[in-house]
Amino acid sequence: VIPGWFSEISPMWPGEAHSLKVEKILFQEKSDYQNVMVFQSATYGKVLVLDGVIQLTERDECAYQEMITHLPLCSIPNPKKVLVIGGGDGGVLREVARHSSVEQIDICEIDGMVVDVSKKFFPDVAIGYDDPRVNLHIGDGVAFMKNAPEGTYDAVIVDSSDPIGPAQELFEKPFFASVARALRPGGVVCTQAESIWLHMHIIEDIVTNCRQIFKGSVNYAWTTVPTYPSGVIGFMLCSTEGPAVDFKHPVNPIDANESACKSSRPLKFYNSEIHAAAFCLPSFAKKVIDSK
Ligand SMILES: NCCCCCc1nc2ccccc2[nH]1
């Protein structure tokens, strides 16, 4: 360990470790579910770390939060009811709130400490909780999904950590089936779906499961996040049987400074061109994803 540096060592990326220079550790405690740490980095702002894995940094969180939210919500004409599973930092809520058609934003986060820590150390991310349309549930997203009435949501966003840890069940078939049931016909789901550089086997299994469960369209998109190992992270975009969804051509564009809630800042990353581009994949990934 190099003093003054945080190295992200994890079985999720064997043999490599992204490092950030640490100025000061601001918080470190064990919740009922995981180790929660916040540190001030030298060049990426404050950093949220769960069980030794970087979840977000102030400097580049926009790339992840904006893409995981607007890829699904800009793909359907009039999203009204949205559910977020995970996402306790509030960043996805901040992005969903930009859509004026949205009337109800439910969020189910298993670890209350993540919510409290985000509100204290990441106010520009946790600002999402200020929107009056938000209903926060602290609990297991798997159970929440099972209890959701059939056909409730226009969109579900699964902003989870990784299959190693509390989020494991959010990557399994029964959970995807419960999401499909809770979505209306032609509803959409967007899930955190790992890195094509590091996790092609995990992605292969997710695509196989999604194609069996979601009878609309199933697509993989990706974005660049410099502080995620391999510099990229992806998303599964699926729709249920019903009105066709063409993820690659946003029917409900959001422009750079549209924001339904007064307090949100202009978009830093997402735009309609990068929406379409996000679905263009390198051949080694296309071969696996398009063949399933
Ligand atoms: N809600 C935050 C999502 C990211 C969680 C941590 C993480 N960091 C990653 C880097 C590469 C591939 C998958 C990853 N998963």
pLDDT given for residue 274 in this prediction: 97
Pocket residues for ligand 1 (CB within 6 Å)? Answer: 53, 55, 159, 161-162, 192, 194-195, 198, 228-230, 233
- pTM for the model: 0.96
pLDDT given for residue 164 in this prediction: 84
pLDDT given for residue 260 in this prediction: 53
Please tell me the distance between residue 100's alpha carbon and the centre of ligand 1 in angstroms.
29
Please tell me the distance between residue 44's alpha carbon and the centre of ligand 1 in angstroms.
16
Which residues pair with residue 108 across a beta bridge?
A: 85, 137
Output the DSSP codes for 5-67.
EEEE--TTSTT--EEEEEEEEEEEEE-SSSEEEEEEESSS-EEEEETTEEEEETTTHHHHHHH
66, two tokens? 């904006």
Quote ipTM for the complex.
0.96
Catalytic residue selected from 32, 159, 162, 255: 159
Please tell me the distance between residue 193's alpha carbon and the centre of ligand 1 in angstroms.
8
Using CA atoms, how far residue 141 sits from 66, 108, 184, in Å, is 21, 6, 18
Q: Give the span between the Cα atoms of 50 and 251, in whole angstroms.
A: 36
Cα 163 to chain center, whole Å? 14
Q: Does residue 246 have an active-site annotation?
A: no
Q: Give the span between the Cα atoms of 254 and 241, in whole angstroms.
A: 25
**Which of 10, 49, 53, 111 to mutate for ligand 1's pocket (most ligand atoms within 8 Å of CB)?**
53
Tens of each residue's pLDDT in the chain, 292 residues: 566 999 999 999 999 999 999 999 999 999 999 999 999 999 999 999 999 999 999 999 999 999 999 999 999 999 999 999 999 999 999 999 999 999 999 999 999 999 999 999 999 999 999 999 999 999 999 999 999 999 999 999 999 999 888 889 999 999 999 999 999 999 999 999 999 999 999 999 999 999 999 999 999 999 999 999 999 999 999 999 999 999 999 999 997 556 555 557 899 999 999 999 999 999 999 999 988 7
What three-state secondary structure class fits 248?
Answer: coil
